[in-house]
Every structure is written in C-alpha cells, then in structure tokens.
A and B are shown apart, each in its own frame.
Chain A
Amino acid sequence: MVGKSPSMFFFLHKSVQWRRYFSREVKYMGSDNKPVISKKSLKQLFYNSMDFVIIDVEWPMGKGILCYYSSLADPTEANKQIDIIRQRALEKTNNWGKTAASDVKPYSEEELVKSVCSGQTVIIFEESQLMLTVSAPNTSGRTPSEPETEQVVRGPHDGFVESTQINLTLIRQKLHRKDLVVKSMEIGADTSTTMTYLYIDTIADKDVVKLFETKLEDVRDINILNTGEIEDYLEGSVYSPFPQLLYTERPDRVVFNLMEGKIALFADNSPSAMIAPVTFFSFFQSPDDFNGRVIIGSFFRLLRIISLVMAIFLPAFYIAVVSFHSEILPIELSKKVKLAINEIPYRPIFEAFILEVFIELIREASIRLPKPIGQTIGVVGGLIIGDAIVSAGLVSNLMVIVVALTAISSFVVPTAEMNMSIRILRFPFMIAAALFGFFGMAIGMMILTIHLLTLSSLKQPYFAPFIPLDTTRFMDIFLRSPYTKFHKQQKTFTFISKKKGRKS
C-alpha cells in the first residue's frame, strides 16, 4: 500500500532528512521492511475498543494518524500541544518534536501500546516510521484531603491521592532537598504499573536501597495493581502477625520517615505510601507527637505503649485470674468478682469469645456502612445488646468491662495494620491463658518476644533498639524528647556513625 503511493519518492526523500534530525534514535529501515500502518490495523491492535479514537491528520511533512484513548487523554489540551508542535515543525526548528510535553520516537507497536495506555496522544507518521507522543492526560481525580484513618489534631491536613505525580508534588513541597531521589520502575508483564520510590541519598543506607531495588527487580514480571500485593514480595516473613512495612496516606509522615533514612514506595493509582525499613515502634508514632509539645507528646506515646500491653494481655489476664489464680484478687475486690461471675453458665474463655466476636462483628459491620447507619450500629450493638447480654446472664459485666477496655485500647494504636495485628494477637493469648493460666501467658509472651527479636524489615532489625541494644534511644521510643536536645540519627542499624538529625 505504501509502496504504491505516488508521492513515495517525496516521502522517502523527507525521511532521509528526518533521519538526519533524529539520527541518534532512528534506525533507518528499508522500505521493504516497513510494517503496515493503517487505521484498520491500528484499530485491530486495540481490539476495536470504543474509546480508542483514531483520526487522520495533515502534517507539514505529510499525513499522520492520530490516536488516543478518549478515557485517558484530554483532547482539548492535546490539540493545543499539537498546534504548538505543528508550528515548530513548519518553522523547521531543530528537534521540533521535543518539547516539555512531547517526544518523537521510532515507531513500534509495543511502544505505541505503552504510550497510548499511559494516556498519551500519539501521531504516527507511517512514511518515516516515527511517532510523536503528546502528553495531555485527563487529570480527573480527588484533591488531596485528610485521610480518614489517620486524622490528627494538629498538623497538616492533606493526604495522598491516587496520582503519584500529585503525591510527589506534596512531598517535594515539604522537603526542599536536592538529595531527595525519586526513581521509578515499570512492573508487570501484561499490565504495567509504575512503582515510584524515593529516599534521601545522603541519609538512606546504601545497602538497604540496593536490597530494596533488587527486591523490586525480582517482581518486575508480576502483574501488580496495588501496594498491598507488592507487600507480600517485599516482606521477610509473610506469615508474621506484625506488618513489616508501614502504610500511610499522610505526606508529613512520609517526610518524617524519609528524614530518618527510610524508603517510601508509591504505586500508581494507590493513595498509600509504603515505608521500609521500619521498626516495631514506628507503628506507635503519630504526627501529633511531633507537632505537640514535649510533655503532651510523651504522655500520649506512653499511653500508646500501655494500650498495646492492655490490648494484648488484658482479656488473657482476666481469664487466667478467674480460672486459675483467684488467690491474687485483692480481698476487697474478690466478693464483687465472685458476685459477677457466679451464675455465668460457661467457662470464661467462651464468655470472652462471645464478646470478642460480638465486638469484631460491630466493627466489621460499621466500617462499610454509611456514617449515620454506622453510628446506629454502634449504639444498638454497644449499648443495647451489651446491656441485654449482661442482664440475660450470658456474659458477666466484668467481662464486658474487660473486653470493651481491650477494644478501646486496641484502637489507640495509630496505624491501621498494627491495630489489626494486635486485635488478632489477643486470641492466642486468651487460649493460652484458658489452658494454662499465667504459665500459658508467660510461654506465649516468650514466643512473641522471640518472634519479634528475629523479625526484620528489609533485613534491618524490627525490634530495634532492643536488638541490637541501644539504651540511648529508649528515651525517643517511650517519650518524645525535645528537638532542642541532640538526637542520634539512626542512619544504619549498625551504629557506626553518629550524626545529628531528626529523631524517630
């Protein structure tokens, strides 16, 4: 078809000229090897999709085929850009196709699919086997608003959105450093997801970055749509109850962590950033601590550590006391406890399970319901059924207090993943307490501690600063020490260099 064109010679001549302009990129292909490019073949390439738009265009150098996905590209903006480029082409500017929003590449089906699928508008020049890609994406999406799961009292109220570009803007606006490195990697064999990761070059540990990159490299051929999927590939032990990567939708949290030398990973179309390597105690920090005053921040941080202990051990402790070790009850309290549990028909462990399941049901039900109905569920579930279950004699009122206190404590943990891990962890402890009393709890505690000590996040110790032990950092973990004091920068976990920097 191309070969029969009367203006073939003109085009051939032109293509030689073009070749001079783009000699670095374009490999001249003989006219015999040229692939057939027509509107029909292109439509077939995109499976005759309805939103695939294909139009013939006139260009100073000849005919071209313009195509784009109407669902991804913004045609008005694309027209504006194309006008500018056409003008440049008429004026015969050097490298006329290269502007901030466009590029000229040699034509290949693969490259075409990639560009069109990423929302670019493409003009194909079949004669010269080149294509002009114009970036004019359809920018519909949320505006940065405060994430609902990570609200703070004091501090910035913005949050990440589904577009990585906007997310990067949010971070760059907060962190004016030239050593903030942003890198990206295309992942996926059939679909392609851009994984963007960033770190501060002068602070982040080189080995950790390298390890992170090799881990990403390993999953290059796996179709990943969300950061949640890549989490499994990056985590050291998938079956551990503890999350080894920190998720956040707060830009300020990402900035704090980047300043500590951590790596943040964004997946395109996902509003959450994934931070690694993290320690166990990173999950108990809230941006509120850093913004609040020293005494207040310290108080709340201590409160969270106490709530962690309560959320895991309180129901187990109660079960152990009433089924094994009633002698430790204070005498003043013993009669009240006895009165409360005397006529409960079954063992405390069943009692606890009934209530725990009940509370988990309320929580699970209210998450997905619209807010007004969610509140109703809370009132009906918490107050009415809670009261009825006690008066019916199915569960003792002490158990209601214990389980409610535990539920509240578990919600104090400021990160959603750790929050869930802790809620699940209390069940094995309850069973251990029901079987063996304090002895069972002690064994469970030992297993948990050993597990925490051996856990790692990107090969960095998870339970730092306990292992490796660094007592000087205890202050920063349990309290929020003043910024005016010297802080040891945890650049690497090997503690070779001491630097002044932001504390964790």
Chain B
Amino acid sequence: MRKVVLALLAIPSIFLGGCWDESQYKDVTIVPVMGITTSGGQVKEFFSYPTFHNDTISYTQSEGSGISGRSAREDANHRTMEALDFTHLEVLLVSSEIAKNELHEQLDMFFRSPRNRITSYLAIVEGDMEQYFKPPGDLNTEVADFYPELLRTAVLYSYITENTMGESVKILLDDTIDLSLPYLTINDNGIPTIEGIALFSHGKYTGATLKKQEAVLAGVMKKQQGKYTRLSFHWKERDSPITIEIINTRRKMKISNDRISVNYVINFSVVEFPNNNLNSKNIRRETENFLSAEIKKDFDKIIKKTQENKSDIIGFGRTVHAFHQKMWNKGDWSETYSTLPIEVNVTMKMKRTSIYD
C-alpha cells in the first residue's frame, strides 16, 4: 500500500515540470532597455528588445500603457509575440516628470520578484520618452545596445557615479543622503547624451542638474570614482591647457556645532600639459596651487548649488547623523543642510608628471 501511495506521488511529479515555476528561455523575450513616462494620467512604458528569427537578430520596440508600471507592462504583452522578460534589464530610463513626483512608486515592481535584475542602470531623461527610443539622429547601433554601453562608459570615466536600481532605491529611502542620477538629453544632432547628473531632494527630482565637469567633481567629493577621472582646466597665466587624472582622494571632515569644514587631499598625475617644465620644483608647486584654487572654486560652486536645491548628494548627513546628533536633531536635515556654512579646503599633490625629462 505504501509503495502504491509513493508511486502515485512520484509519477505525477514527473509531469509537474510544466506547471512548476518553469519558464523556457526560448519562450521569452529579453528586454535590455525600458523607459517609463506618464501621459494623460496614465503610465506609459517603452521597450526595446532583440527578436530572433532565422538565425538573425533584429531589434524592435513596443509600448504599453496602464494605470501603473506593472499594468503597462502587462498591456505591452498583449502586443508582443513572446512574453517580455525583465530578468536581463540593463537600463531603465525614467522621464523627468515621473522623477519629480513618484520615482519610488515606479520602481516598486522590480523588487517584488526574485527574477528581476536590480543591478540595471537608472537614468533620468528630459523630454519626450518616445524620442529616446526612436532618436532623430543616427546612433549607428540599436537602442537596446546603445544605452547600456553609454552608461557603462560613463561610469568607467567617472562622468556619473555608479547608480544601479538597487543602490538608488537604498539612497532614495535614506534621510541622510540624497540621490543623484545620470541625466540624459537629446543633443543638437539628435543623439541622446549624458548631460550631467540630476539632483534629488526628499526622494524627488528637484529639476536642477550638475553639468559635465561638475558631475565628475561631485564624484570626487563623494570619493566615488570610476577607473579614470580626468579633469581639464585652462591656465590663463601660462596660456596653456592642463588635464589631470586623479589617482586618489582623502577626505577629512570637521564638524562643529554650526559649521562643517572639509579637507580634501587629492593625488593626481598630469596627463596633458604642453607648457611642461614640470621638472622644476617651483613650477610643480605653482601647478599644485593653481589646481587647488581651481578645484576649491568648483567644489564651492557644487556645494552652493546643492544647498540651493536642498540636495545633500555628497552625504554630509551621514557623518552628522552618526556622530553629531545635536546638529541632526535641529530639524529636517535638508533644511539644516541648505543653510549650513560649509568650508572646503583642497590640497592638490602632484604624484606623477607622466613624462621623463
């Protein structure tokens, strides 16, 4: 009897495969790039994905709309051949309107299923979302390939700090630090470009952005650099451009009751300086002083801008929350931050001239 019962249990389990959590890879369509926007009170989603037919890959786009992100996704399934699968989502583009209102709401669906990839990049786009999926300019490649590579390169060269979906939501829900996301626009040639980074405050996009070099410097201030961090300046007195590569950064924060002073010591190497003569100690000193002044100027600008927008992207709030409860308890941190006097000191140290004289 027991054997019969066991057999009755074991044999049907062989046929379970189909109704278990199986999802044949050949029956799904992987979506590498997805965009979310709103139109007329409805959420509208765009998808760009490869389709496979007769041993060739071609790319198509589709869209769906609904009352929420998930319903828009289901809506799109009505029009695609195979079910859309988001396990390989590489880039999620979010329109600035959504970012200004309810970014977290739209990201919720990605955290509800273990099959979703939360290491995909998140980026804010300005303007009509459809344009980003059908750019007016010639990309020379497919949209599904373009955005992942664009953002990967930007991270590598420190134009943006690495902001994956998982990390972003963590920061989004954090009171001590504000989010900054890559900000994309379509340039004059009709090609999507990384403009800089978008500043958030209280989990909402403020509408303010940091432009290219500022974005790189903000990364230096956060001590989050990619593989290469290059900055270019024009040295008027010597009538020469100078480009440096930052090797590493040390940061020391002094927080007293009503002010913060930050000391940066930045090691750098020179990667371009036609004026040269760096074998002379005086010139090296002079260069270091020039760069210290320039970068301090830029840092001050960044702090001013973030304070104006009540967006503490550098994360001073973290240290304050951890070690200076008195200051933290003064009230809402964004408000405190916007009025806090912050003094920045920069010491640049030339470690390599990159040339042998």
Q: Which of A324, A329, A341 contacts B26 (CB 8 A)?
A: A341
Kindly specify which of B85-93, B159-167, B188-196, B247-255 makes contact with the partner chain: B85-93
Tell me the complex Cα distance, A331–B28, Å.
15
| Residues of chain A in range 322-340 having any CB-CB distance to chain B below 8 Å | 322-324, 326-327, 329, 331, 334-335, 337-339
Q: Does A435 contact B (CB under 8 A)?
A: yes
| Residues of chain A in range 188-233 having any CB-CB distance to chain B below 8 Å | none
> A349 — nearest CB in chain B belongs to which residue?
B17
Please tell me if the beta carbons of B22 and A324 are within 8 angstroms of each other in the complex.
yes
Q: Does B256 contact A (CB under 8 A)?
A: no
Scan B1-44; emit 1 where CB is below 8 A from any A CB, else 0: 00000000000011011001111111010101000000000000
Scan A407-419; emit 1 where CB is below 8 A from any B CB, else 0: 0000000000000
Report the minimum CB–CB distance from A166 to chain B (whole Å): 51
If A322-B26, A323-B22, A324-B22 touch, whether A342 touches B88 (CB-CB below 8 Å) is no
Q: Which of B52, B53, B87 contacts A326 (CB 8 A)?
A: B87
Please tell me if the beta carbons of B22 and A338 are within 8 angstroms of each other in the complex.
no
Residues of A within 8 A of B117 (CB): 327
Q: Does B239 contact A (CB under 8 A)?
A: no
Please tell me if the beta carbons of A342 and B26 are within 8 angstroms of each other in the complex.
yes
Interface size class of A (residues with CB under 8 A): 20 to 34
Q: Does B50 contact A (CB under 8 A)?
A: yes
Q: Does A467 contact B (CB under 8 A)?
A: no
Residues of A within 8 A of B14 (CB): 431, 435
Report the minimum CB–CB distance from A332 to chain B (whole Å): 10
Going nearest first, the 4 A-B pairs with the smallest beta carbon separation are A327-B87, A326-B25, A342-B52, A322-B25
Q: Which of B22, B30, B57 contacts A437 (CB 8 A)?
A: B22
Please tell me if the beta carbons of A324 and B57 are within 8 angstroms of each other in the complex.
no
Residues of A within 8 A of B259 (CB): none
Q: Does A16 contact B (CB under 8 A)?
A: no
Please tell me if the beta carbons of A338 and B90 are within 8 angstroms of each other in the complex.
no
Tell me the complex Cα distance, A338–B85, Å.
12
Scan A299-322; emit 1 where CB is below 8 A from any B CB, else 0: 000000000000000000000011
> B115 — nearest CB in chain A belongs to which residue?
A327
If A331-B88, A331-B90, A334-B88 touch, whether A323 touches B23 (CB-CB below 8 Å) is yes
If A326-B87, A327-B88, A435-B14 touch, whether A338 touches B25 (CB-CB below 8 Å) is yes
| Residues of chain B in range 159-216 having any CB-CB distance to chain A below 8 Å | none
Q: Does B55 contact A (CB under 8 A)?
A: yes
Q: Which of B16, B25, B50, B53 contacts A435 (CB 8 A)?
A: B16
Residues of B within 8 A of A436 (CB): 16-17, 20
Residues of B within 8 A of A57 (CB): none
Scan A429-444; emit 1 where CB is below 8 A from any B CB, else 0: 0010011110000000
16 A-B interface contacts by CB (under 8 A): A323-B22, A323-B23, A326-B25, A326-B85, A327-B117, A335-B50, A341-B26, A342-B52, A342-B53, A347-B24, A349-B17, A434-B17, A435-B13, A435-B20, A436-B17, A437-B21
Residues of B within 8 A of A341 (CB): 25-26
- Kindly list 11 other residue pairs between chains A and B, CB separation below 8 angstroms, not including A323-B24, A326-B87, A337-B25: A323-B23, A327-B117, A331-B32, A331-B88, A334-B30, A339-B57, A341-B26, A343-B26, A347-B24, A435-B14, A435-B17
Q: Does A389 contact B (CB under 8 A)?
A: no
Tell me the complex Cα distance, A341–B55, Å.
10
Tell me the complex Cα distance, A56–B227, Å.
103
> A347 — nearest CB in chain B belongs to which residue?
B24
Residues of A within 8 A of B55 (CB): 339
Residues of B within 8 A of A323 (CB): 17, 22-25
Most buried by B among A326, A343, A434, A436: A326
Tell me the complex Cα distance, A168–B32, Å.
69
Tell me the complex Cα distance, A324–B16, Å.
13
Tell me the complex Cα distance, A431–B11, Å.
13
Interface size on B, residues (CB 8 A): 26
**A-B contacts, CB under 8 A, total:** 68
Tell me the complex Cα distance, A68–B90, Å.
87
Please tell me if the beta carbons of A326 and B20 are within 8 angstroms of each other in the complex.
no
Please tell me if the beta carbons of A338 and B20 are within 8 angstroms of each other in the complex.
no
Residues of A within 8 A of B25 (CB): 321-323, 326, 329, 337-338, 341
Q: Does A446 contact B (CB under 8 A)?
A: no
Report the minimum CB–CB distance from B146 to chain A (whole Å): 14
Tell me the complex Cα distance, A198–B117, Å.
62
Q: Does A344 contact B (CB under 8 A)?
A: yes
Please tell me if the beta carbons of A324 and B21 are within 8 angstroms of each other in the complex.
yes
Most buried by B among A323, A329, A431: A323
| Residues of chain A in range 420-435 having any CB-CB distance to chain B below 8 Å | 431, 434-435
Tell me the complex Cα distance, A405–B55, Å.
24
Please tell me if the beta carbons of B22 and A322 are within 8 angstroms of each other in the complex.
no
Report the minimum CB–CB distance from B13 to chain A (whole Å): 7
Please tell me if the beta carbons of A335 and B57 are within 8 angstroms of each other in the complex.
yes
Please tell me if the beta carbons of A338 and B23 are within 8 angstroms of each other in the complex.
no
Tell me the complex Cα distance, A155–B28, Å.
55
Please tell me if the beta carbons of A324 and B23 are within 8 angstroms of each other in the complex.
yes
Report the minimum CB–CB distance from A85 to chain B (whole Å): 67
> B114 — nearest CB in chain A belongs to which residue?
A327
Report the minimum CB–CB distance from B110 to chain A (whole Å): 13
Residues of A within 8 A of B87 (CB): 326-327
> A320 — nearest CB in chain B belongs to which residue?
B22
Residues of B within 8 A of A326 (CB): 23, 25, 28, 30, 85, 87-88
Please tell me if the beta carbons of A339 and B52 are within 8 angstroms of each other in the complex.
yes
Tell me the complex Cα distance, A379–B16, Å.
39
> B120 — nearest CB in chain A belongs to which residue?
A331
Residues of A within 8 A of B17 (CB): 323, 347, 349, 434-436
Report the minimum CB–CB distance from A343 to chain B (whole Å): 8
Residues of A within 8 A of B13 (CB): 435
Please tell me if the beta carbons of A338 and B30 are within 8 angstroms of each other in the complex.
yes
Residues of A within 8 A of B30 (CB): 326, 334-335, 338
Tell me the complex Cα distance, A450–B21, Å.
27
Most buried by A among B16, B17, B88: B17
Residues of B within 8 A of A349 (CB): 17
Residues of B within 8 A of A434 (CB): 17
Q: Which of B16, B22, B26, B88 contacts A344 (CB 8 A)?
A: B26
Most buried by A among B22, B25, B28: B25
Tell me the complex Cα distance, A329–B332, Å.
44
Residues of B within 8 A of A339 (CB): 52, 55, 57
Most buried by A among B57, B85, B148: B57
Residues of A within 8 A of B85 (CB): 326
Residues of A within 8 A of B53 (CB): 342
Most buried by A among B26, B50, B117: B26
If A323-B23, A323-B25, A437-B22 touch, whether A338 touches B16 (CB-CB below 8 Å) is no
Tell me the complex Cα distance, A344–B25, Å.
11
> B30 — nearest CB in chain A belongs to which residue?
A334
Tell me the complex Cα distance, A230–B87, Å.
55
Report the minimum CB–CB distance from B234 to chain A (whole Å): 40
> B52 — nearest CB in chain A belongs to which residue?
A342
Tell me the complex Cα distance, A324–B26, Å.
11
Residues of B within 8 A of A321 (CB): 25
> B14 — nearest CB in chain A belongs to which residue?
A435
Report the minimum CB–CB distance from B86 to chain A (whole Å): 9
Report the minimum CB–CB distance from B191 to chain A (whole Å): 23
Please tell me if the beta carbons of A322 and B52 are within 8 angstroms of each other in the complex.
no
Report the minimum CB–CB distance from A336 to chain B (whole Å): 10
> B32 — nearest CB in chain A belongs to which residue?
A331
Tell me the complex Cα distance, A344–B148, Å.
29
